[in-house]
Amino acid sequence: MSLFLASFGFGLVTAAVLAIAAVGFTMQFAVTDVLNLAFGAVMIASAFVAYALNQAGVNVWIGLLAAAAAGAAGSVLLNQGIYTPFQRRGSAPITMVIVSLGMTLIIEFGLQAIVGGTNVSYTMSQGPTVRAGGLVLTAVQFVIIGLAIVVMAAVHGLLRYTKLGKAMRATSANRSLARNCGIRTGRIVTVTWAITGALCGIAGTVFAINNGSFGATSADLFLVVILAAVFLGGPGSAYGAMLGAVIIGLATEISAAYITPSYKDVIAFAILLIMMVLRPGGLLGAAVS
Amino acid sequence: MTSAQLYYLLNLLIYAGIDIIACLGLSQQFGVAGVTNFGFIIFQAAGAYTAAILSLPNDSANGGFQSYLAGWNLPFPVPWIGAAIVGGLVALPFTFVVGRRLRGDFAAVGLLVTAVMFNLLVTNYRPFLNGAAGLSLVPAPLQGEYDPSGAGYQWAYAAIALVLAAGAYLLVRRVTESPYGRSLRAMRDNDLVADSLGKNLLAQRTSVLVLGGALAGLSGGILVGYITTWAPGAWGYAETIVLFAAVIIGGAGSHRGAVLGAILVPVGFEEATRYIPSTFGPPGFVDDLQWVAIGLLVVIFLWFRPQGVLPERRRIIGATAVPSNTPNEDVVSLAGPLHASRGAATAGSALPAADPAPRATASPAAADGGAVLRTVDLARDFGGVHAVAGVSIEVHRGTLTGLIGPNGAGKSTLLGMLAGTIPVTSGQVIYQGRDVTGLPAYRRARLGLVRTFQLASEFKRLTVMENLLSAVPSHRGDSLAGALRGRRCWRRDEEAAIARARVLLERFGLSSYADTYGGDLSGGQRRLTEIMRVLMTEPAMLLLDEPMAGVHPRLARQIGAQLLDLCAEGMTILMVEHELAIMDEFCDPVIMMAEGTVLATGTMTDLRARAEVVEAYLVG
């Protein structure tokens, strides 16, 4: 199998993990206007919930569901307990970002104080090697890609065809107008945190599965890759985040194969910075003047 | 005191000096200028690496176990000077991120990403700065002449660190307390408005990045000379949060707060936890809790005391003003006293004192058929919406021209394009016979074409007096160079400006509010402050966006009368207003817009007689 196809396959897997996370992050931002930098911390905390169950003998894919629930609960709690009170006070977006960084430290290192500083792995089988369309990946990697496709389809269905999705888009476009139109924006925001929190939990677990081993601070770097995908697609745009995830996933893995793996994340960051300077609205967003 | 205790104490003093310098740099950026630099630690790292490779011998020394650039073995204090210079230079590319019209939180994320990226690059590329292992065996300053482990040397090192910290304190105070510092704070409170008043945001942000970067670089140089080693692990992005915690807890924008924060957080807090026995909990447990506590401190302080322990102090300038209890209702005419003060203020310049609108020289305007401002097919699209679609208007000298139209007619967009705050899609703006279409807002403001905003736009954490002073054009203290040269350089300009501001405050009946924060004013007082502030720019032409919105009708009439007086003195005003009664009374001619185009121009009486105008207003 050629180097290109191999790296393309890995790129798809990375893109799949990234897409789930990036869509969650960008929807959080769209509806609540918080750049929640604690997203990575919640991801890993959820992955550890799955790990605890896994250690108790539960299958990791059932653990994934528990992680989704934990991510949803944690995110709703984070919003209700911290972000909403600050926003009610009229805190500036930049204050919210600093608060979310503070929360990152609290969650990550609080977790590390509990689970310790060494990396852990799930007990699971990678499954047989599967060949499909010239790609050679493990069954688990195919499951991750499949899972991402299902999640993306579900998000698309939610945003396009449900009343809830419509209300979320309305809240995102103009919260006070949406409220005046009879949309219970407080509830929409909470539901959004629950949904995106579930995505965050799923993303954390598949990230941990895909990484092989993980620790409390493993998502630090990945958070920046998520930001790259989000900003590439246009902050707040779910479809943009999907596109950004595919581009960043492929770009990092293919460059890792052809240049050197040490710099694969640097590629993602460079793309992010170039986008911020040239087109801060992202590929699918309006060019912000 | 045992010698171990003495060494420990000196160690604390040295760290205090280093952290104070770094926190002062960050406070200048974040607290004073509002630039949230999440990449701040890079500047310290750059300074530390620079000092290291300037003082280290060639990398073949010590058996060649580490590889790095330079290795010039330069004597003290060259490495420290180099550290400060490189710290400042490294800041320059960052301007691309913060100088753009990027949301503050987006720019902050961009800087955070840059910090992570630099750390990755340095970690992975070994030939540059020895990769993840970092540099070690960095020579301490003057270690050939003195013994770095001696108590005398340690005393001297601590003394030098603290003297440099004191120097940094005086430097940032000199900048912040100058008119330039006031402009930085104005930018922090509302950058769009600062831009419209003639502040060059890019230059201002660059200068604070470079100044803060140089201080951070210096702190890195002092640090590496003391600990003699420097590696990527020492400057993770989280270290920036420690410094942010220090600045927020101490009091962002307050220099004494930065000093206190440096002593409380990086020095005091981290040292205090050292006394928790390491046998407490599993390995790394105490370190983890320390990070949790830093996070908690940031969140708790932002909630309970966002201004910090030692808040930025209020600058009292106007308290000694002429005692005046003139209520707003008694505002009469601006013409007399204001005119006199303008003459006085411009007497020092080359322009004749009698000219009421100093920069509106007659000749270019005359060359343009008497139009001070003219547009040619001006258009602006937002996505697919033609907000303004081919507008050609002329505004003549000395007129109070009205601009009316239903909501969504494109009035505010047009005003924004005239002022340069909204980019033009196509067409031209000709001001005093000169094509200014490509000029940014601050350059147009400096030519005397200044706007106000529809929404209240006071600088919230500047007093009313400071709001006024912030608008003074070509103030000698309003540049980094002027600020560094000190009060002697700009005191005269400042006094003249204060005198002018007092006259305006008197006329508008706000003298007793001179030392009130802009954010604490009532709606009507904010509008008045905005109008006074724009008059401080000595404009030739004013672009007013609903200056009477939310103002008591009686006060609105008085503002209108004052605007007419200004026009009689030669000023030109284009005013957006919804209140037709105001238009009837004060504006002539009136331009009527609808759906992005000009529907009609004429006196209000003319317009009322035209069916399509009435229809547009009724339908719209």
Residue of A nearest to B102 (CA): A280
For B8-20, what is the HEC assignment? HHHHHHHHHHHHH
Whole-number percent of chain A with pLDDT over 70: 98
Is A112–B288 a contact, with Cβ atoms under 8 angstroms apart?
A: yes
pLDDT at B64: 78
Mutate to test the interface with B, among A111, A269, A279, A284 (most CBs of B within 10 A): A269
Q: Using CB atoms, which residue from B103, B116, B283 is nearest to A221?
A: B116
> What's CA A94's distance to the chain center, in Å?
21
How many residue pairs bridge chain A and chain B with CB atoms within 8 Å of each other? Answer: 143
In the 8-state DSSP scheme, what is residue A283? Answer: S
CA–CA gap between residue B461 and residue B448 (Å, rounded) = 26
CA–CA gap between residue A236 and residue A272 (Å, rounded) = 15
Each residue's pLDDT tens digit, A6-24 = 889 889 999 999 999 999 9
pLDDT at B164: 97
Chain A residues in contact with B241 by the CB 8 A cut-off are 101-102, 105
Q: Using CB atoms, which residue from A93, A113, A221 is nearest to B289?
A: A113
HSE toward the beta carbon, residue B242, CA cutoff 13 A: 21
Is A108–B291 a contact, with Cβ atoms under 8 angstroms apart?
A: yes
Residue of B nearest to A228 (CA): B113
CA–CA gap between residue B185 and residue B189 (Å, rounded) = 6
Is B299–A106 a contact, with Cβ atoms under 8 angstroms apart?
A: yes
Q: Using CB atoms, which residue from B36, B110, B124 is nearest to A262?
A: B124
Chain A residues in contact with B281 by the CB 8 A cut-off are 113
User: Is the distance from CB of B205 to CB of B95 less than 8 angstroms?
Assistant: yes
Q: What are phi and psi of B348, to 5 degrees?
A: -70, -20
CA–CA gap between residue A22 and residue B490 (Å, rounded) = 52
Q: Dump strand ranges (E) for B455-506.
A: none
Task: Tell whether the torsion through CA atoms of B469, B470, B474 and B477 is positive or negative.
Answer: positive
For B275-316, what is the HEC assignment? HCCCCCCCCCHHHHHHHHHHHHHHHHHHHHCCCCCCCCCCCC
Residue of A nearest to B100 (CA): A277
Chain A residues in contact with B302 by the CB 8 A cut-off are 86, 91, 95, 98-99, 102
Q: Using CB atoms, which residue from B102, B121, B289 is nearest to A276?
A: B102
10-residue mean pLDDT profile of chain B (620 residues): values are 84 94 96 92 95 89 82 89 95 76 79 88 87 89 86 92 97 95 94 88 91 96 94 89 94 94 87 72 82 93 92 78 44 38 37 39 52 91 86 91 88 91 91 90 90 84 94 90 91 92 88 91 86 90 87 84 88 88 86 88 84 66
Task: Say whether pLDDT at A158 is over 80.
Answer: yes
CA–CA gap between residue B75 and residue B55 (Å, rounded) = 7
CA distance A266 to chain B (A): 6
Is A266–B117 a contact, with Cβ atoms under 8 angstroms apart?
A: yes
CA distance B185 to chain A (A): 16
Chain B residues in contact with A97 by the CB 8 A cut-off are 36, 105, 108-109
Mutate to test the interface with B, among A29, A96, A105 (most CBs of B within 10 A): A105
> What's CA B206's distance to the chain center, in Å?
10
Domain coordinates of chain B in residue numbers?
A: 3-236, 334-619
pTM of the model: 0.87
Residue of B nearest to A231 (CA): B106
The residues, ordered by sequence, that sit 6+ positions from A223 with a Cβ below 8 Å of its Cβ are: A37, A39, A40
Is A269–B238 a contact, with Cβ atoms under 8 angstroms apart?
A: no
Mean pLDDT of A238-261: 89
CA distance A154 to chain B (A): 29
**Angle B420-B445-B174 (CA atoms, 0-180°, nearest 5)?**
120
User: Is the distance from CB of B185 to CB of B32 less than 8 angstroms?
Assistant: yes
Is A98–B36 a contact, with Cβ atoms under 8 angstroms apart?
A: yes
**C-alpha distances in Å from residue B198, one per residue of A215, B57, B269:** 51, 49, 43
Helix (H) / strand (E) element for B599: namely: strand B597-602
CA distance B457 to chain A (A): 16
Q: Using CB atoms, which residue from A262, A269, A289 is nearest to B113?
A: A269
> What's CA B54's distance to the chain center, in Å?
34
Q: Using CB atoms, which residue from B102, B106, B292 is nearest to A106?
A: B292
Is B302–A91 a contact, with Cβ atoms under 8 angstroms apart?
A: yes
Q: Looking at the domain assignment, is residue A117 inside a domain?
A: yes
CA distance B404 to chain A (A): 25
Is B291–A280 a contact, with Cβ atoms under 8 angstroms apart?
A: no
Task: Say whether pLDDT at A101 is over 90.
Answer: yes
Instruction: Show the DSSP H helices in B56-130 as ranges.
Output: 78-98, 104-124, 126-129
CA distance B132 to chain A (A): 12
CA distance B113 to chain A (A): 6
User: Is the distance from CB of B388 to CB of B413 less than 8 angstroms?
Assistant: yes
Mutate to test the interface with A, among B38, B111, B117, B303 (most CBs of A within 10 A): B117
Chain A residues in contact with B244 by the CB 8 A cut-off are 98, 101
Q: How many CB atoms lie within 10 A of CB B425?
A: 15
- Top-ranked range on mean pLDDT: pick from A99-108, A269-278, B232-241, B403-412: A99-108
Chain A residues in contact with B94 by the CB 8 A cut-off are none
Is A113–B97 a contact, with Cβ atoms under 8 angstroms apart?
A: no
Task: Say whether pLDDT at A58 is over 50.
Answer: yes
Chain B residues in contact with A263 by the CB 8 A cut-off are 120-121, 124
Q: How many CB atoms lie within 10 A of CB A196?
A: 31
Chain B residues in contact with A266 by the CB 8 A cut-off are 117, 120-121, 124
Considering just the CA atoms, what is the radius of gyration of chain B in Å? 29
Chain A residues in contact with B295 by the CB 8 A cut-off are 101-106, 109
CA–CA gap between residue A112 and residue B281 (Å, rounded) = 12
CA distance B294 to chain A (A): 7
Report the largest interatomic distance among the alpha carbons of chain A, rounded to a whole angstrom: 59
Average pLDDT of chain A, as a whole number: 89
Q: Using CB atoms, which residue from A86, A93, A95 is nearest to B103?
A: A93
CATH class name, domain B334-619: alpha beta
User: Is the distance from CB of A218 to CB of A44 less than 8 angstroms?
Assistant: yes
Task: Tell whether the torsion through CA atoms of B202, B208, B214 and B216 is positive or negative.
Answer: negative
Residue of A nearest to B99 (CA): A277
Which residues make beta-bridge pairs with B25?
Answer: none
- Amino acid, single-letter form, for residue A55: Q
Mean pLDDT of A260-264: 78
Domain interval for residue A20: 2-217
Residue of B nearest to A109 (CA): B288
CA distance B353 to chain A (A): 40
Is A102–B306 a contact, with Cβ atoms under 8 angstroms apart?
A: no
The β-bridge relationship of strands B371-382 and B426-431 is: antiparallel
CA distance A227 to chain B (A): 8
CA–CA gap between residue B540 and residue B450 (Å, rounded) = 8
Q: Looking at the domain assignment, is residue A120 inside a domain?
A: yes
Q: Using CB atoms, which residue from B97, B104, B120 is nearest to A277?
A: B97
Lowest mean pLDDT among A25-34, A238-247, A276-285: A276-285
Residue of B nearest to A100 (CA): B299
Q: Looking at the domain assignment, is residue A82 inside a domain?
A: yes
Q: Using CB atoms, which residue from B38, B106, B294 is nearest to A280?
A: B106
Is A105–B292 a contact, with Cβ atoms under 8 angstroms apart?
A: yes
Number of domains in chain A: 1
Q: Using CB atoms, which residue from B110, B245, B299 is nearest to A273?
A: B110
Is A109–B288 a contact, with Cβ atoms under 8 angstroms apart?
A: yes
**Angle B207-B212-B217 (CA atoms, 0-180°, nearest 5)?**
125
